[in-house]
């Protein structure tokens, strides 16, 4: 168990709901769920969830901290907003799902190999490095995420699309070495660091 | 009827459904003068459109017959049909009320012989059957309609059809020159009993009420069982007339939902439990037919619990704890497919049914804050008792989402509140 | 009183004149009906027709009017002559609308009409325009039994309408359970927080009201009399008794808490930290706005579990099968007591179905906002361990067994009505003792009953309290006419009728106050109360003929008839609802009403033209309940559904009023069969006189012996339960029956 996680476990002991309310984006809505299940039934990825949203809310109330934070379920959310639109209690379920995923990730207990989590991390690192997405680097990183062989296979499969994009100047092969970021990425890094500090302080995540 | 005498010791009752009728009768049987105003051509209201009452599974018209006999026998009640209150001004014990009356085009000579109806071939949508059926343009609204007097639909006025209708009547009962009229009366207290209307089911987008023929509302389902209803008392689904052997009920259709009605409409659980028994009634106990009730909580309050337990024991009725997420249509079979999750353990389903009945929520026909000054509305528009200086009292479903038994209680209580006001007036004048 | 003068009016409108020989009808009225004034009119219900009748009444001193036109249910506005006796011969719905307009049908259709005119003329000879009961009472004071929120409300609302009230409370103070509450569930926007009960303001209203007299520490030890003239003894604990005269009675005897000691599996009685909702109110009141502490050791409560439906909605012996309706909201309110004081207290409501109807949904949401946790779960066992309680339950959502730890467990137990003595069970038990049969013990007597003390101590022959319905709640018609009890002038309100919360109780009590006021207003005028409101007739009784058989006193659905020392019936006219059940019960036919009697019906039955055996025209008598069967027949006619021309239909007030003499007389005089159409009986009865249909079925089941003595086939007499909507079924029943009689053959008594 990593340090932040231990801290939070100690801090909230049995009260996982409170932990969620205080640390997860829109987490204070969890208590409003009335277990009707319309969100679970509305999710287009529904069949792939181990625990659909309404069940996750119940698990949170039941204090099932590890099961919730380590599940891959909320990483399934594609932000279609069906659940939000239909929820009779107006819970911002999409945001709560992302909030939970993010929280688990911050605690370092999110499923390491979950593709959505890995993609998110790659994307984040890519965009924060220069302030602009380097699409070519992002694509390559994603292709080779599961090893060299897989990467080559995926790249070959996408060859036609890639060439087409280069021809229509949608993709610049030189971006690998010559990516244009924002004017002063250092300032951006400072800014992000500061934002992180503020958030951590607010949520008590600072170590 | 035109020279109506009313004073500030008169009680005005607005609405001639079960609540308004009850309030008017109870007050009149205490010796009070009552003016009863009904918007439709006949009294009876929404309960007269019901096939059966829960939990006794008895007939609403049975109680209505008694109430009609009380009404016929009571000289203290003046009944105005096709009339609506348009304005109320004043203070307790002293209200000025404007009433507008639409023309029926049929006067009191009518013997209800039916000759006018036979004379015309023009048909109009039948509101008594929620427009699922047609009726003649000269019609008796329903079998038990009171006043037992025909109505000529305004759509044929000025046409040859109207002349045909008039010519058919031997009793000079058709008066095509009738006009809208308004009247002003004075009353001491008002009982507002305009009842409820079903929530607009088309607004519940995922259920496709406006897209799928085989998604209907509970009030429409009720009409199907009536031998004089749109299907002649058979459970036949709208798309292809196929017998309904596998019906779904969706609870909280519009109710308990911040996107629609925030309140719980109270009656819908019992209504669906009741309607689930129609399957057995129609096809027999051993028949290969079933009903599935999709619910959040079954709210069979107090003594109604007995009825819930009785239905639970019926093998043909299944319960799924789930708010249905959405409905799709199987184009080949016309079946409706309900999608969702049974939350008792997390079981996904995609269940095909012949027909889906939305247990539709109840909203007030008239919002309380539109009635008059000093009438308080709750968030849903029901009349709130708040001790304000008013003698406009809510009764029945204008005041809350209520079942019949509670609506009658509410109406009886409202009658007393009105009597208290007019008795104060009369003792002040004595 | 001047002499009777009967006028008969034959209408020719609506096709009657086209289909029937109205001259012949008029002749029959004159010659056979012996009516001096007979008129025909083309359109009797128009202004001219009505004026003709009116003028005859005013200037020709007509006292009895027969209208031979449409059904008695039609054109009541036009034919409402209050100052004379009115009879109707139903030629439209009863004849021409149910018969084909064909040459071959003409003769039998005319015979039908002829008979209905004969019958109406015969009936009217025996009818009197009723004069109100001279023994009507004069008392308008309302007695309210029970000083809880329902009783107080009933008294206050009665007084506001100008009626004096006596309020009798068993304990030393007013307010009942409501006064023991810390706060109540809200009844106004925004339905978010518990609110003041308001009981103390109400009590103040009572105390300041000169129109309300309060009797504390008192009970009703005797109630006799009738609406408008009840006499009640109110006895104080000290033994002092006063006798008061009142006009009507509201029984607001409330409920008792279910005995939670019957729930040891939920820890009650094992740990003082398992309490019921009433005890929690006490804890909350003691704590005021401060934190609540555990009963066991005074530790501040940090976690609470509310177990809903404790001992309710359950078939287990000793449990309540019903739902008490208020408990979900009550637990929500109580959870808020904790949350409003300290948001960090864990509160969990464990429910099966959460039942917060209407605006209760707002209250539910408000509780969630405050952090109350709701778990759909079934509590199985509550254990005390390590200074804490453990609630073992099945989590219905997560589908697993789970444990919740809590400092305090609150059991949401139910309301048990204080409905006094179960007089029917008592009567059954008595009957059992008499006949020494042991198997008929009513199941319901197994149910929980907290109080066996009588509430009203009625001196009525039928028992000391109101009859009970299922689960011990006081009887009522329940849907359309919830206030109608089976004891005239006595109304119940509050949780004694069905489980309810404060808001509903107050509404209910206000309604009951109206009914009580209505009862006295009708009683002082000598008029009937619901459902024959305004009827001025009342039963009259010929003592000389009475055989003291007690059937009338036993069978009256409303307990209106007592017995004197010589076991003769004593009619309490003001208690009577005019159903005629006593008349139907009486084997020697000494009971009658001025406008409805053995003769008014009997003479109709006799005065038909009975064809002889060889005419092959059977005659079938149908006695139809006027509330359900008769309207169904009318509506069948409206639809043009046809039925046999051999039936003669006589509407009856209630099947309970059908005297078996009518049946035997009919068969003796040549009718080939008799059919009774009444309404639904049993637990879900529709009979508006409660037991009428049931009694008729019982009586008819015994008529077989009589038929056998007459050597007639038992199939000649049939009884059906008919609903008002049986529009297609009633003509079918008649036609099938006509076919059956055809099969059996003609009655051999014809022509004797």
Per the CB < 8 A criterion, the answer to whether C417 and C251 are in contact is: no
| B323:A42 CB<8 A | no
**Does residue B55 have a cis peptide bond before it, meaning omega lies within 30 degrees of 0?**
yes
The lowest-confidence range among B14-28, B30-44, C470-484, C493-507 is C470-484
Domains of chain A, CATH where assigned: 3-111 (1.10.1060.10), 115-197 (no CATH)
C374 interfacial to chain A (CB closer than 8 Å)? yes
CA-based nearest distance C344→chain A, Å: 10
Stretch(es) of chain C classified as CATH 3.50.50.60? 142-254+418-524, 257-415
Give me the mean pLDDT over the C153-175 stretch: 98
Nearest CA to C335 among C309, C310, C287, C303? C303
Instruction: Report residue C491 as tokens.
Output: 């109304």
In chain C, what percentage of residues exceed pLDDT 70? 97
Of C346, C369, C395, the CB nearest to A32: C369
Look-up of token digits 């009404």 = B71
CA neighbours closer than 13 Å in the CB half-sphere of residue B228: 20
User: A: neighbours with 3+ CB pairs under 8 Å?
Assistant: B, C
Render pLDDT for C381-409 as a digit per residue (tens, 0 to 9): 999 988 899 999 999 999 999 999 999 99
Residue C450 has pLDDT above 60, yes or no: no
Note the pLDDT of residue A84: 96
Q: What is the pLDDT of residue B3?
A: 54
Cβ contact B111–C45 (<8 Å):
yes
pLDDT of C432: 67
Residue C445's pLDDT band (boundaries 50, 70, 90)?
A: very low
In this structure, what token pair is assigned to residue C73? 């249910």
Beta carbons within 10 angstroms of residue A80's beta carbon = 13
Among candidates A47, A54, A57, which has minimal Cα distance to A16? A57
Q: Do A88 and B343 touch (CB under 8 A)?
A: no
| Per-residue tokens: C410 | 């609150």
Residue C582 CA to residue C74 CA, distance in Å, equals: 29
Q: Say if the Cβ atoms of A36 and B322 lie within 8 Å.
A: yes
Neighbours of C653 (CB within 10 A): 27
Q: Which residues pair with C624 in a beta bridge?
A: C651, C677
Instruction: Put the strands of the sheet holding B181-187 in their side by side order.
Output: B83-91, B94-101, B181-187
Both tokens of B100, joined, read: 């507008």
Those residues with Cβ within 8 angstroms of residue C453's Cβ, 6 or more apart along the chain or in another chain: C219, C420, C421
CB pair distance less than 8 Å for C686 and B417: no
Contacts of A80 (CB under 8 A, 6+ apart): A43, A44, A94
Mean per-residue pLDDT, B218-237:
97
- Residue A122 · residue A114 · CB < 8 Å: no
Question: In C525-597, which ranges are continuous DSSP H helix?
Answer: 551-555, 581-585
Query: Is the predicted pLDDT of residue B361 greater than 80, yes or no?
Result: yes
Q: Is C403 on the interface with A (CB under 8 A)?
A: no
Distance CA C476, CA B53 (A): 16
Q: Measured between alpha carbons, how far is B76 from B63 in angstroms, rounded to an integer?
A: 20
The partner residue sitting opposite A62, judged by closest CB among C368, C371, C402, is C402
Q: Does C342 touch chain A (CB under 8 A)?
A: no
Q: Using an 8 Å CB-CB cutoff, list chain C residues near A62.
A: 375, 395, 398, 402
C37-41 and C64-69 strand pairing: unpaired
Closest Cβ opposite residue B341 in set A34, A52, A86: A52
| Nearest of C346, C628, C649, C72 to residue B62 by alpha carbon | C628
Closest C-alpha among B148, B4, B16, B18 to residue B76? B4
Q: Whole-angstrom Cα distance, residue C612 to residue C618?
A: 9
pLDDT of residue C435: 61
Encode pLDDT of C106-126 as tens digits.
999 999 999 999 999 999 999
Print pLDDT tens along chain A (207 aa).
Answer: 457 888 888 877 778 999 999 999 999 999 999 999 999 999 998 888 899 999 999 999 999 999 999 999 999 999 999 999 999 999 999 999 999 999 999 999 999 999 999 999 999 999 999 999 998 889 888 888 888 888 888 888 988 988 898 899 888 888 878 888 899 999 999 999 999 999 888 877 765
DSSP state, C561?
A: E
The CA distance from C403 to the nearest CA of chain A, in Å, is 10
> Are C275 and C408 within 8 A, CB to CB?
yes
Give me the mean pLDDT over the C500-527 stretch: 96
**C600-638, pLDDT tens digit by residue?**
999 999 999 999 888 889 999 999 999 999 999 999 999
Q: What's the pLDDT at C4?
A: 87
Which of C78, C188, C517 lies closest to B384 in CB terms? C188
Assess B342–C contact: CB distance below 8 Å, yes or no.
no
Contacting residues for A3 by C-beta, under 8 A, at least 6 apart: A207
Direct distance between the N- and C-terminal alpha carbons of chain A, in angstroms, rounded to an integer = 14
The answer to whether residue B387 scores a pLDDT higher than 70 is: no
Do the Cβ atoms of B380 and C507 come within 8 Å?
A: no
CA distances from C255 to A132, B218, C451, C501, C744 (A): 73, 36, 10, 11, 58
Topology adopted by domain C1-129: Rossmann fold (3.40.50)
Contacts of B248 in chain A (CB under 8 A): none
Q: CA of A38: which chain B residue's CA is closest?
A: B325
Please report which helix (H) or strand (E) contains residue C535, including its range. none
Rg of chain B over Cα atoms, rounded to whole angstroms, equals 23
The domain C142-254+418-524 is placed in CATH, from the list 3.40.50.300, 3.40.50.970, 2.40.10.220, 3.50.50.60, at 3.50.50.60
**pLDDT given for residue A46 in this prediction:** 81
| Residue C438 pLDDT | 45
**pLDDT, tens digit, 9 for 90 and up, residues A127-174:** 999 999 998 889 888 888 888 888 888 888 988 988 898 899 888 888
Predicted confidence (pLDDT) per residue in C242-292, tens digit: 999 999 999 999 999 999 999 999 999 999 999 999 999 999 999 998 999
Cβ C397–A58 below 8 Å, yes or no?
yes
**Do C481 and B65 make contact, defined as CB atoms within 8 angstroms?**
no
Helices B268-283 and B305-312, interaxial angle, to 10°? Answer: 40
Q: Which of C373, C398, C402 sits opposite A31 (nearest CB)?
A: C373
Q: A62 and C398 in contact by Cβ < 8 A?
A: yes
Mutate to test the interface with C, among A12, A62, A88 (most CBs of C within 10 A): A62
Q: How far is CA B424 from CA B5, B11, B28, B373, C740, in A?
A: 20, 13, 17, 22, 64
**Owner of token pair 């037919």:** B289
CB of A136 closer than 8 Å to CB of A155: no
Q: Look-up: residue for tokens 């016929």? A: B72
Average of per-residue pLDDT values in chain B: 95
Residues of chain C with Cβ-Cβ distance to A58 below 8 Å are 375, 395, 397-398
Residue C444 is predicted with a pLDDT of 43
Tell me which of C195, C357, C376, C653 to substitute to probe the interface with B (most B C-beta atoms closer than 10 Å): C357
Quote the pTM value.
0.95
If one looks up domain B199-362 in CATH, what number appears? 3.50.50.60
Q: Is the CB of C499 less than 8 angstroms away from the CB of B111?
A: no
Judging contacts by C-beta atoms under 8 Å, the chain B residues touching residue C639 are 143
Q: Which residue from C70, C397, C482 is facing B409, i.e. has the nearest CB?
A: C482
Chain C residue with the nearest C-alpha to that of B256 = C361
CB pairs under 8 A between A and C: 31
Our CA dihedral for A106, A110, A114, A118, rounded to 10 degrees, sits at 20
Antiparallel, parallel or unpaired: β B392-394 and B189-192: parallel
Record: contact B112-C638, CB cut-off 8 A? yes
Which chain B residues touch A85 with a CB distance below 8 Å? 259
Counting as contact any 3 or more CB pairs under 8 A, the partners of B are A, C
Contact call for residues C420 and C253 (beta carbons, < 8 A): yes
CA distance C650 to C666: 12
Alpha carbon distances (Å) from C470 to C443, C527, C620: 10, 31, 39
DSSP letters, C351-380, are ESS----BTHHHHHHHHHHTT-EEEEEEEE
d(CA B11, CA B424): 13
Question: Does C352 lie at the interface with A, CB-CB under 8 angstroms?
Answer: no
**Looking at residue C448, what is its pLDDT?**
44
Q: Tell me whether residue A8 is exposed, middle or buried, using C-beta atoms within 10 angstroms of its C-beta: 0 to 12, 13 to 18, 19 or more.
A: buried
Chains that touch C (3 or more CB pairs under 8 A): A, B
Q: How far is CA B400 from CA B26, B367, C357, C466, in A?
A: 20, 11, 10, 30
HEC states along chain B?
CCCCCCCCCCEEEECCCHHHHHHHHHHHCCCCCEEEECCCCCCCHHHHHCCCCCCCCCCHHHHHHHHHHHHHHCCCEEEECCEEEEEEEEECCEEEEEEEECCCCECCCCCCCCHHHHHCCCEEECHHHCCCCEEECEECCCCCCCCCCCEECHHHCCCHHHHHHHHHCCCCCECCCCCCEEEEEEECEEEECCCEEECCHHHCHHHCCCCCCCEEEHHHHHHHHCCCCCCCCCCECCCCCCECCEEEEEEEECCCCCCCCCCECCCHHHHHHHHHHHHHHHHCCCCCCEEEEEECCCCCCHHHHHHHHHHHCCCCEEEEECCCCEEEECCCCCCEEEEEEECCCCEEEEEEECEEEEEECEEECCCHHHCCCCCEECCCCCEECCCCCCCEEECHHHCCCCCHHHHHHHHHHHHHHHHHHHHHHHHHHC
Give the nearest partner residue to A54 out of B258, B339, B343, using CB atoms.
B343
B252–A35 C-beta distance less than 8 A: no
CATH code of C257-415, in short, is 3.50.50.60
The mean pLDDT of C642-648, rounded to a whole number, is: 97
State the pLDDT at residue C20: 97
Please report, for chain B, the start and end positions of each structural domain, with discontinuous segments joined by +: 11-102+180-195+365-429, 115-168, 199-362
What does DSSP assign to residue C410?
Answer: E
- CB distance from A31 to chain C under 8 Å? yes
The DSSP element (H or E) to which C630 belongs, if any, is helix C629-638
pLDDT tens digit sequence for B289-342: 999 999 999 999 998 999 999 999 999 999 999 999 999 999 999 999 999 999
Please tell us whether the domain made up of B11-102+180-195+365-429 is placed in CATH 3.40.50.2000: no
Binary contact (B70, C531; C-beta < 8 A): yes
Contact B340/A37, CB-based, under 8 Å?
A: yes
Q: Residue B206: its chain A contacts at CB < 8 A?
A: 42, 86
d(CA B148, CA B143): 9
pLDDT band at C102 (very low <50, low <70, confident <90, very high): very high
CB within 8 Å: A40 and B339: no
B264–C361 C-beta distance less than 8 A:
yes
**Strand pairing of C408-411 and C241-246?**
unpaired
What is the average pLDDT value for chain C, to the nearest integer? 93
**Could you tell me the CA-to-CA distances from C113 to B36, B354, C107, C582 in Å, in that order?**
38, 50, 10, 32
DSSP secondary structure, A166-179, as one string: HHTTS--TTHHHH-
In this structure, the number of other CB atoms found within 10 A of the CB of residue A132 comes to 15
CB contact under 8 A, C365 and A61: no
């Amino acid at each position: 168990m990593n340090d932040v996680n231990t801290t939070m476990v100690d801090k909230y002991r049995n009260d996982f709901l409170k932990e969620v309310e205080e640390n997860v984006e829109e987490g204070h809505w969890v208590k409003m769920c009335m277990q009707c299940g319309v969100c679970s039934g509305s999710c287009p990825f529904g069949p792939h969830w181990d625990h659909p949203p309404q069940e996750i809310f119940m698990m949170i109330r039941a204090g099932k901290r590890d099961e919730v934070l380590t599940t891959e379920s909320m990483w399934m959310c594609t932000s279609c907003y069906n659940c939000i639109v239909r929820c009779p209690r107006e819970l911002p379920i999409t945001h709560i799902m992302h909030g939970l995923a993010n929280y688990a990730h911050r605690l370092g207990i999110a499923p390491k190999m979950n593709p959505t989590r890995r993609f998110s991390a790659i994307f984040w690192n890519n965009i924060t490095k220069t302030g602009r997405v380097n699409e070519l680097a992002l694509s390559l990183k994603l292709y080779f995420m599961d090893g060299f062989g897989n990467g080559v296979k995926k790249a070959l499969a996408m060859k036609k699309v890639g060439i087409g994009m280069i021809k229509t100047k949608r993709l610049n092969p030189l971006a690998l070495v010559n990516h244009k970021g924002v004017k002063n990425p250092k300032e951006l890094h400072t800014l992000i660091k500061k934002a992180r500090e503020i958030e951590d302080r607010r949520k008590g995540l600072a170590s | 009827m035109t020279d109506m005498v009313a004073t500030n010791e008169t009680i005005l009752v607005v609405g001639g459904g079960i609540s308004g009728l009850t309030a008017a009768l109870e007050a009149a049987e205490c010796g009070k003068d009552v003016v009863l105003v009904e918007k439709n051509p006949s009294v009876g209201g929404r309960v007269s459109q019901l096939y059966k009452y829960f939990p006794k599974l008895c007939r609403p018209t049975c109680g209505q017959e008694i109430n009609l006999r009380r009404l016929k026998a009571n000289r203290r009640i003046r009944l105005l049909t096709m009339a609506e209150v348009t304005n109320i001004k004043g203070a307790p014990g002293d209200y000025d009320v404007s009433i507008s009356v639409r023309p029926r085009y049929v006067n009191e000579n009518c013997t209800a012989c039916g000759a006018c109806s036979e004379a015309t071939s023009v048909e109009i949508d039948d509101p008594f059957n929620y427009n699922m059926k047609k009726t003649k343009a000269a019609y008796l609204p329903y079998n038990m309609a009171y006043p037992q007097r025909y109505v000529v639909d305004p759509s044929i006025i000025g046409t040859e059809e109207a002349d045909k209708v008039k010519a058919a009547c031997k009793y000079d009962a058709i008066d095509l020159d009738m006009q809208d009229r308004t009247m002003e009366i004075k009353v001491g207290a008002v009982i507002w009993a305009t009842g409820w209307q079903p929530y607009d089911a088309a607004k519940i987008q995922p259920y496709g009420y406006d897209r799928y023929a085989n998604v209907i509302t509970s009030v429409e389902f009720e009409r199907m069982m009536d031998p004089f209803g749109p299907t002649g008392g058979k459970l036949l689904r709208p798309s292809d007339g196929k017998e309904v052997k596998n019906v779904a009920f969706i609870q909280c259709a519009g109710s308990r939902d911040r996107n629609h009605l925030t309140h719980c409409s109270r009656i819908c659980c019992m209504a669906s439990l009741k309607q689930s028994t129609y399957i057995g009634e129609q096809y027999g106990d051993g028949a290969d037919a079933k009903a599935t009730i999709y619910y959040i909580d079954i709210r069979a309050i107090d003594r109604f619990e007995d009825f819930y337990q009785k239905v639970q024991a019926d093998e043909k009725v299944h319960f799924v704890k789930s708010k249905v997420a959405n409905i799709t249509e199987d184009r080949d079979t016309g079946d409706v497919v309900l999608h969702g999750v049974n939350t008792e353990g997390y079981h996904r389903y995609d269940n095909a049914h012949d027909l889906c009945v939305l247990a539709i929520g109840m909203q007030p026909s008239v919002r309380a804050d539109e009635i008059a000054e000093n009438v308080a509305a709750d968030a849903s528009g029901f009349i709130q008792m708040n001790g304000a200086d008013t003698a406009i009292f809510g009764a029945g479903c204008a005041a809350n989402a209520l079942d019949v038994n509670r609506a009658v209680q509410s109406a009886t209580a409202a009658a007393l509140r009105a009597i208290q006001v007019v008795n104060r007036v009369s003792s002040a004048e004595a | 009183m001047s002499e009777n003068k009967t006028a008969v009016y034959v209408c020719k409108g609506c096709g009657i004149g086209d289909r029937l020989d109205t001259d012949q009808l008029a002749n029959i009225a004159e010659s056979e009906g012996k009516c001096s004034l007979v008129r025909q009119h083309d359109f009797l219900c128009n202004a001219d027709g009505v004026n003709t009748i009116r003028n005859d009444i005013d200037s020709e001193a007509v006292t009895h009017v027969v209208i031979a036109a449409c059904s008695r249910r039609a054109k009541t506005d036009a034919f409402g002559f209050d100052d004379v006796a009115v009879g109707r011969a139903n030629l439209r719905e009863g004849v021409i609308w149910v018969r084909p307009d064909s040459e071959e049908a003409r003769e039998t259709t005319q015979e039908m009409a002829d008979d209905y005119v004969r019958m109406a003329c015969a009936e009217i000879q025996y009818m009197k325009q009723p004069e109100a009961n001279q023994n009507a009472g004069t008392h308008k004071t309302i007695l309210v039994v029970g000083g809880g929120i329902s009783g107080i409300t009933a008294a206050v609302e009665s007084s506001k309408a100008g009626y004096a009230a006596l309020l009798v409370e068993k304990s030393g103070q007013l307010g009942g359970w409501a006064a023991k509450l810390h706060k109540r569930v809200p009844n106004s926007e925004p339905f978010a927080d518990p609110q003041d009960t308001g009981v103390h303001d109400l009590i103040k209203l009572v105390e300041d009201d000169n129109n309300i007299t309060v009797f504390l520490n008192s009970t009703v030890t005797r109630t006799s009399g009738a609406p408008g003239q009840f006499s009640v003894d109110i006895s104080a604990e000290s033994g002092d008794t006063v006798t008061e005269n009142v006009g009507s009675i509201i029984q607001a005897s409330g409920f008792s808490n279910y005995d939670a000691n019957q729930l040891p599996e939920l820890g009650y009685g094992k740990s003082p930290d398992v309490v019921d909702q009433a005890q929690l109110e006490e804890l909350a009141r003691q704590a005021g706005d401060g934190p609540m502490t555990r009963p066991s050791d005074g530790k501040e409560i940090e976690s609470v579990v509310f177990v809903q439906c404790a001992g309710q909605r359950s078939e287990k012996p000793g449990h309540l099968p019903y739902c008490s309706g208020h408990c979900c909201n009550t637990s929500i309110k109580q959870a808020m007591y904790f949350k409003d004081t300290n948001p960090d207290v864990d509160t969990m409501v464990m429910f099966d179905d959460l039942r917060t109807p209407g605006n209760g949904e707002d209250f539910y949401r408000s509780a969630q906002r405050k952090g109350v946790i709701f778990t759909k779960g079934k509590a199985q066992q509550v254990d005390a361990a390590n200074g804490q309680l453990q609630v073992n339950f099945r989590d219905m959502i997560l589908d697993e067994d789970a444990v919740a730890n809590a400092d305090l467990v609150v059991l949401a137990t139910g309301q048990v009505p204080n409905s006094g003595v179960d007089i029917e069970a008592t009567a059954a038990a008595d009957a059992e003792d008499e006949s020494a049969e042991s198997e008929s013990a009513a199941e319901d007597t197994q149910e929980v009953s907290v109080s066996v003390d009588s509430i009203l101590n009625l001196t009525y022959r039928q028992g000391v309290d109101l009859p009970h319905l299922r689960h011990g709640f006081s009887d009522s018609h329940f849907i359309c006419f919830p206030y109608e009890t089976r004891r005239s002038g006595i109304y119940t309100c509050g949780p004694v009728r069905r489980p309810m919360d404060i808001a509903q109780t107050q509404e209910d009590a206000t309604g009951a106050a109206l009914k009580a006021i209505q009862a006295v207003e009708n009683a002082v005028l000598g008029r009937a109360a619901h459902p024959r409101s305004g009827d001025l007739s009342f039963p009259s009784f010929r003592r000389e003929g009475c055989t003291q058989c007690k059937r009338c006193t036993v069978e009256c659905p409303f307990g209106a008839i007592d017995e004197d020392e010589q076991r003769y019936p004593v009619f309490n006219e003001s208690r009577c609802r005019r159903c005629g059940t006593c008349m139907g019960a009486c084997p020697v036919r000494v009971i009658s009403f001025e406008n409805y009697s053995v003769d008014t019906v009997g003479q109709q039955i006799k005065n038909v033209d009975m064809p002889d055996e060889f005419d092959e025209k059977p005659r079938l008598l149908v006695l139809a309940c006027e509330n359900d069967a008769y309207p169904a027949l009318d509506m069948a006619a409206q639809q043009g559904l046809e039925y046999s021309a051999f039936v003669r239909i006589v509407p009856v007030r209630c099947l309970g009023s059908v005297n078996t003499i009518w049946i035997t007389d009919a068969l003796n005089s040549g009718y080939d069969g008799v059919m009774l159409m009444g309404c639904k009986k049993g637990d879900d009865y529709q009979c508006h006189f409660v037991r009428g249909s049931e009694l008729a079925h019982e009586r008819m089941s015994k008529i077989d012996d009589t038929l056998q003595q007459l050597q007639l086939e038992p199939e000649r007499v049939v009884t059906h339960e008919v609903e008002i909507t049986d529009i297609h079924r009633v003509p079918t029943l008649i036609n099938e029956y006509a076919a059956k009689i055809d099969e059996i053959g003609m009655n051999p008594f014809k022509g004797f």
